[in-house]
Structure 1
Amino acid sequence: MKIQLETKRLLYRPLELSDADAMFAMDSNPNVHKYLWQKPSLEIEETLKVIEYVQSQYERNHIGRFATILKETGEFIGWTGIKFVHDHTENGNTNFFDYGYRLDEKFWGKGYATEATAMWLDYGFNQMKIEVMNAYTHSENGASNHILQKSGMTFMEKYLDQDGAYWQWWQMNNPNL
């Protein structure tokens, strides 16, 4: 996959196996997983499997989560992007486009998630011509819920997952259609 995108402060490119160390550092942090099923990575092999899985999504769906890089330093700050969910059901839905992100804790609170969200919504609607973009966040994750709301997504409903946690379902229709 050859797509490379950029915004004022960030570069977005497909995940590579060389991202594994930085991604493992992010995913092994319990704070990063506070609102993500509270299952931090324990071994780098888990991260390598995730990267390989995302790479298979690029092949199947021509999109997936992308490494997000700080232009100024070249640092991997996390991943952001759109994926096509067809391998599980979320809130009764399958076969849908989902926007999501995960950033390393040291990059929180700097506006990077908001910058990435605006770019990916624009890319999804204008380049991919997605009709409806979805997202879901843990109901107690105030920062992520705020970012989705201020980015123009609409809160649709709160739902309970199979583990008894409440999540929020967000949606945005393509404004160009």
Structure 2
Amino acid sequence: MKFHLETERLLLREFRITDVEGMFELDSNPKVHKYLGKKTIKTKEEAKRMIEFILKQYKENGIGRFAVIEKSSGNFIGWSGLKLNKGTKESLNGFQDFIDIGYRFIPKYWKKGYGLETAIACLEYGFKTMNLDTIYGAAEIGNIGSNKILQKIGLQFVNEFKEGNKLVNWYELKKENYGK
């Protein structure tokens, strides 16, 4: 799968095995996992397996998260994109076989608007290029930044649900409401 999407400041592209250092920096950081179950990775081998899983999603599902590169520095800063959650293993809020939008960045790149910038681009790609009917999003209630991004890009709050011992907000946007 070849994927290339650009925003004013960022490049979104398919993951490569060479992104292992950046993926390790991202997912070994406890700050990044504060609202993700605090399950940081401990080794670069784990980061490599995560990338291999994403590459497998591209082949099997035609979509997956994408590496985000800062144009000005050329640095890997995290990931963003759409993902097909399928089967009971990946069910969430009673849903399975759904597309969600997500983003995750290395903390030194937080508060620069990159999450919003990539989410807008991914939403457009999902509705205009992939012709999706509905895109979902979820964010722990305490994750103010992520909730704000989902709301700013037009996803509508549907309900609150429990995931483990955490409360999570569930959002959706239907194609007919996109851009309104």
User: What's the TM-score once normalised by structure 2's chain length?
Assistant: 0.95
- The Cα shift of 1:164 comes to 1.3
For 1:110 and 1:140, how far apart are their aligned partners in 2?
Answer: 20
- Residue type at the aligned position of 1:152: G
Q: How does 1:57-136 map to 2 (within 5 A)?
A: 57-87=57-87, 88-136=90-138
Q: How does 1:34-45 map to 2 (within 5 A)?
A: 34-45=34-45
The answer to whether the 8 Å contact 1:5/1:13 transfers is yes
2:137 is paired with a residue of what secondary structure?
strand
Q: CA RMSD in A?
A: 1.1
- Residue type at the aligned position of 1:145: N
Change (3 A) 1:176 1:22: same
Work out the percentage of aligned pairs sharing the same amino acid: 41
2:167 equivalent to 1:160? no
Aligned length: 176
For 1:176 and 1:61, how far apart are their aligned partners in 2?
Answer: 25
For 1:173 and 1:105, how far apart are their aligned partners in 2?
Answer: 31
Structure 2: give runs of 5+ residues left out of the alignment. Answer: none
- Residue type at the aligned position of 2:61: N
For 1:156 and 1:47, how far apart are their aligned partners in 2?
Answer: 33
User: What's the TM-score once normalised by structure 1's chain length?
Assistant: 0.97
Give a deviation string over 1:95-141, Cα, whole Å, max 9, x none.
Answer: 00111010000000000001001000000000000000001111110
Aligned to 1:173: 174
For 1:83 and 1:51, how far apart are their aligned partners in 2?
Answer: 14
